[in-house]
Structure 1
Amino acid sequence: METILKVDNINVYYGSIHAIKGVSFEVSQGEIVTLIGANGAGKSTTLNTISGLLRSKTGSVTFLGEDLGKVPAHKVVSRGLALVPEGRRVFLQMTTQENLEMGAYTQSGKPNPADLEMVYQQFPRLKERRKQVAGTLSGGEQQMLAMGRALMSHPKLLMLDEPSMGLAPILVEQIFDIIKRLHEGGTTILLVEQNAQAALSVADRGYVLETGKVVTAGTGAELLASPAIKKAYLGG
């Protein structure tokens, strides 16, 4: 499988705080790769560095053979990399459909009706709510909207930052069913998630972050079966 994302020895600071310490990992075409770890382990910081919102002091982030270190954050999406941020960040005053159309801003001209239809097939609830103002949607519906908006840009890699955060267990199941379906449809996914059980259950491979470092890596099944991981993250 072709490696589409290569993160090599990144070190990221917030002022004097060394948040990411020499993190390296890869994502290959067609995989779900997950980064798991406790709150504050550096998972979201890693995604924000890949997206260009933060910059690493060392190393490199290479996407489809291009070093993203010199690409401005607002141009990263046009390279085929889409981030669904933690907390969803939908446009609360706009309708569901307007939010989706915003996701297509990197495409030339008007949003393609076929793209909208593709998103509505993935998320039938959004079709029902297409004229509804996004601020009135439930948390689960807003998460679906954030994911649908990202898909409008035809990403080669979809990055999801804590998609289950703040959702009831039944909605978490629904979101992970959608993640599996997107994967089966050929979408490559980098998933950051505090719900280690759910993330490792769908992931091909996983990396465990602790205090800004990768401490363990393996297949999803290996990490799920690891006594140390069970004890630390799975309540086992």
Structure 2
Amino acid sequence: MLEVKDLEVSYGKIIAVKGISFSVDEGEVVTLIGTNGAGKTTTLRTISGLLRPSGGEIRFRGERIDGTAAHQIVGMGLAHSPEGRRIFPRMTVEENLLLGAFGRRDKEVPKDLQAAYELFPILGERSKQPAGTFSGGEQQMLAMGRAMLSRPKLLMLDEPSMGLSPIMMKRIMATVKTLQSQGTTILLVEQNARAALKLASKGYVLEVGKIVTEGTGQELLTSDEVRKAYLGED
């Protein structure tokens, strides 16, 4: 579904992503893990069209999309729930959700809105409330629900558990699994490497803009190198 080949991304003279290649097959959860500054968020922002690559190519469902405008990429079925949620605090929960469907012209939006409320009941219960009054975990649910309103084939999630309590983190990870079971392919960037690898079909480890290790989620969970560097084990 997604193929990234020899991707390079630069900020001026600084090369943040240094020729990485990876793929995401339909129905998979694939995770990118690594320390802060490894290039994970930059990679997602480039795939979604918010940044322009300085080299390499990106193909989504067989079509090359590097250089395609971000709103057109969303329309093709690739959605991005960004780091930090980026909700609109003064708008209501429902208004935030409907922004996810802004580019749609079909008549299924009310149905998908109801599906978001079923997936995250708190959003339906407080749909007329300003989104800025939500807790961090509730805002994360809203950000994910908003992305789902675009009806993505592939959903990219950037640090969905950042700043959340352990209980809320487990709820968000369970939701990722639910979305996969409903047919959504997931590309996940997540600070909790253990939780991400438990969900993932495969994973890639980034260090300073390069992929240094890759394998199935289970292989990376049992890798001595990964356990010491990212799972806090000796």
- Supply the distance in 1 between the matched residues of 2:190 and 2:209 (Cα, whole angstroms): 15
Question: Residue 46 of structure 2: SS of its match in structure 1?
Answer: helix
Pick the aligned partner of 2:80 from 80, 83, 86. Answer: 83
Q: In the alignment, which of 39, 62, 75 is matched to residue 42 of structure 1? A: 39
- 1:131-185 deviations in whole A, cap 9, x for unaligned? 1100000100000000000000100100000001111111101100111111111
Please state how far the C-alpha of 1:111 moved relative to its aligned partner.
6.6
Which among 59, 77, 80 is matched to residue 62 of structure 1? 59
Which of 166, 172, 176 pairs up with 2:163?
166
> Equivalent residue for 2:7?
10
Q: Does 1:230 align with 2:227?
A: yes
What's the secondary structure of 1:118's corresponding residue?
A: helix
Q: Does the 8 Å CA contact 1:80/1:153 hold for their aligned counterparts? A: yes
AA at the equivalent of 2:145: G
**Cα shift readout 1:63-109 (whole Å, capped 9, x = no counterpart):** 01111123112211001000000000011111111111111112116
SS in 2 for 1:69: coil
Contact kept? 1:101, 1:111, Cα under 8 Å = no
Asked if 1:193 is matched to 2:178, the reply is: no
RMSD: 1.0
Q: CA deviation at 1:112?
A: 2.0
Q: How does 1:1-236 map to 2 (within 5 A)?
A: 4-108=1-105, 112-236=109-233
Q: Aligned partners of 1:35, 1:109: CA distance in 2, in Å?
A: 33
Q: Secondary structure at the match of 1:30?
A: coil
TM-score (norm 2): 0.97
SS of aligned partner of 2:151 = coil
Q: Is the 8 A contact 1:10 1:58 kept in 2?
A: yes
| Separation (CA, whole Å) in 1 of partners of 2:87 and 2:107 | 20
Would you identify which runs of 4 or more consecutive aligned residues in structure 1 move more than 3 Å? none
Tell me which amino acid in the other structure corresponds to 1:128: E
Aligned residue pairs: how many? 233
SS of the residue 1:216 aligns to: strand
> What's the offset of the Cα at 1:110?
6.8
Q: What is the CA–CA distance in structure 1 between the aligned matches of 2:39 and 2:198, rounded to whole Å?
A: 21
1:104–1:111: 8 Å Cα contact kept in structure 2?
no
Secondary structure at the counterpart of residue 3 of structure 2: strand
Distance, in Å, in 2 between the alignment partners of 1:230 and 1:84 is: 27
Cα separation, 2, equivalents of 1:210 and 1:194 = 14
